[in-house]
């Protein structure tokens, strides 16, 4: 078979990514050869994948997670277009894994035909290789101001004749209005592909919801395929920044007598904030994303995460008074960690003619290194050791590099070929590697050192936490939710047979017929 499905949503963070992953895991369990696909993603949370030619490429981290749910290796075709916002007005364009351009709202339209051609060709390839391709939309399909050049939502569905399921987040309120309005704003040809709905993040008495579901069916002529419950344990690899609350996950109680509090500064252009999720899987480790100076000052460990705009976010850090808080934290001998862009902020100086084009600016001066930016981005899967031969794996996505370092500087990590990576100066740590804390032994040694520096002698690191095990349980839970709460027989018919015939038109529809890309 060569089946397909589009999972669209009423909004960003409605649940498209997790539902796509859950459907992939459900199909994978049934022995179906399935692949996820997101035509265009806008996110600074990316993953590095390595192709058959050995070259690294970037895709959205959510697509890497969905690939794991499908039981396949992640590859660039799963997310052919990735937009990485560098400001409110511009984004870097990554096409099939490689950065090819920078665009803003004014010139993006001119690039869209090229992107659409790549997307359509890539989806055709995947559908020829896999039994089923589960596509994820972006934002909302009812963004009528963008419909004429859309190749991500209904533009993709119309091109490939994909049956479409619209998911809505009831936890935000107004889910019936959002689901009805999404259909009613589409033109007749697009509406003919929207087969039904899924309600996400429900908590309460399902009996109270059923009359609304029945009325939604009556006014749209489309069924609701199921209601997914709110699940507090589904927080790993969150696609949208809106998904991050103040505390990551649901931290388990400490094994010892003390907690370890971690404050992650929520930078305006934060990237790969998922780096700290591995810390949050440990019992007794409470990880919060925050912009509050008092919370940063009170933390045992402060983390400056990655940034798509290192120099601009460093300026923001100073404007908010957080730079002073971070420096006082370090001066007090308490542990401080910088990852990628955060590591660069800890340097003496940053010379950037690539991202911000601001030339040389002062860093925080907490590590004896100087950073420069290269025009060509480093994309690599990396492996090495730390803390006396403890194995570490990670990946690199960066323009910045260490141009100068003081002689005798202690590296945080060492590549397998002996090259130093990152830096340690007493209680201050920095590395360009993302994903390093997913290495269990390294994470334990690092947290043990953090507890010592923070004076938390009552904190005891777990000896058996497996990050990959936690992730697999999360993916299995997504598959369970799909099997237990959705009409999987109806979903299977959609995938096999395509859009149902005779779906009614819901007025008023789009005001003008859209122009196909």
Classify residue 434 by its DSSP letter: B
**Contact (Cβ atoms closer than 8 angstroms) between residue 372 and residue 341:** no
Q: Which residue, chain included where needed, has tokens 């790993």?
A: 236
Structure tokens, 323: 């730079």
Planar angle of CA 122, 127, 133, nearest 5 degrees? 100
Measure the CA–CA gap between 217 and 105, rounded to whole angstroms: 37
Planar angle of CA 285, 341, 413, nearest 5 degrees? 65
Three-state secondary structure call for residue 69: helix
Nearest Cα residue to 434 out of 416, 413, 459, 420: 413
Nearest Cα residue to 240 out of 267, 273, 212: 273
Computed from CA positions of residues 475, 477, 479, 485, in that sequence, does the dihedral angle turn out positive or negative? negative
Measure the CA–CA gap between 99 and 81, rounded to whole angstroms: 10
Nearest Cα residue to 229 out of 492, 475, 478, 491: 478
User: Where do the DSSP E strands lie in 366-415?
Assistant: 369-386, 390-405, 413-415
DSSP string covering 76-116, please?
A: GGGSSEEEEESSSSEEEEEETTEEEEEEEHHHHHHHHHHHH
- The pair phi, psi for residue 76, each rounded to 5°, is -65, -25
Nearest Cα residue to 231 out of 478, 483, 485: 478
Measure the CA–CA gap between 335 and 400, rounded to whole angstroms: 23
Residues acting as catalytic residues: 340, 434
3-state secondary structure 276-322: HHHHHCCCCEEEEEECCHHHHHHCCEEEECEECCHHHHHHHHHHCCH
**Contact (Cβ atoms closer than 8 angstroms) between residue 256 and residue 461:** no
Three-state secondary structure call for residue 173: coil
Alpha helices in 395-502 (DSSP H): 440-454, 467-485, 488-497
User: Where do the DSSP E strands lie in 111-218?
Assistant: 132-136, 164-169, 194-202
């Amino acid at each position: 078979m060569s089946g397909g499905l589009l999972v669209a949503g009423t909004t960003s963070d409605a649940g498209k990514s997790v539902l796509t992953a859950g459907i992939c895991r459900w199909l994978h369990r049934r022995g179906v050869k399935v692949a996820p696909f997101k035509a265009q993603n806008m996110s600074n949370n990316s993953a590095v994948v390595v192709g058959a030619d050995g070259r690294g490429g970037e895709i959205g981290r959510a697509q890497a997670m969905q690939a794991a749910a499908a039981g396949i290796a992640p590859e660039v075709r799963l997310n052919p277009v990735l937009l990485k916002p560098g400001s409110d007005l511009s984004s870097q364009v990554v096409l099939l894994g490689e950065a090819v351009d920078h665009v803003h709202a004014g010139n993006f339209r001119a690039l869209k035909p090229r992107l659409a051609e790549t997307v359509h060709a890539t989806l055709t390839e995947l559908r020829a290789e896999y039994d089923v391709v589960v596509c994820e939309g972006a934002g909302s399909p009812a963004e009528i101001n963008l419909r004429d050049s859309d190749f991500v939502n209904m533009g993709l569905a119309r091109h490939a004749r994909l049956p479409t399921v619209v998911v809505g987040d009831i936890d935000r309120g107004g889910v019936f209005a959002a689901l009805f309005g999404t259909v009613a704003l589409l033109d007749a040809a697009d509406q003919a592909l929207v087969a039904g709905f899924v309600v996400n993040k429900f908590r309460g008495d399902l009996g109270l919801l059923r009359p609304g579901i029945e009325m939604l069916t009556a006014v749209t002529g489309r069924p609701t395929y199921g209601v997914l419950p709110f699940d507090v344990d589904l927080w790993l690899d969150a696609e949208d920044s809106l998904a991050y609350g103040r505390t990551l996950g649901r931290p388990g109680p400490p094994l010892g007598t003390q907690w370890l509090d971690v404050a992650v500064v929520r930078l305006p252009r934060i990237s790969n904030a998922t780096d700290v999720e591995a810390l949050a899987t440990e019992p007794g480790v409470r990880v919060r994303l925050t912009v509050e100076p008092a919370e940063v000052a009170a933390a045992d460990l402060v983390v400056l995460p990655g940034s798509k705009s290192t120099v601009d976010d460093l300026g923001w850090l100073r404007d908010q008074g957080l730079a002073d808080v971070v420096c006082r934290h370090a001066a007090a001998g308490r542990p401080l960690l910088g990852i990628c862009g955060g590591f660069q902020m800890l340097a003496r100086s940053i010379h950037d003619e690539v991202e911000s084009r601001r030339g040389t600016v002062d860093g925080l001066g907490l590590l004896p290194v100087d950073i420069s930016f290269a025009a060509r981005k480093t994309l690599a899967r990396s492996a090495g050791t730390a803390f006396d031969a403890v194995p570490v794996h990670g990946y690199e996505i960066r323009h910045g590099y260490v141009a100068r370092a003081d002689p005798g500087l202690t590296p945080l990590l060492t590549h397998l070929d002996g090259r130093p990576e990152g830096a340690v100066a007493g209680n201050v740590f920095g590395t360009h590697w993302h994903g390093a804390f997913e290495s269990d032994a390294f994470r334990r040694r690092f947290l043990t050192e953090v507890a010592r520096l923070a004076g938390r002698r009552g904190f005891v690191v777990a000896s058996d936490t497996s990050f990959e095990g936690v992730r697999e349980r999360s993916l299995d839970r997504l598959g369970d939710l799909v099997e237990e709460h959705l009409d999987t027989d109806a979903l299977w018919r959609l995938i096999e047979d395509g859009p149902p015939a005779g779906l009614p038109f819901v007025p008023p529809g789009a005001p003008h017929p859209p122009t196909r890309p």
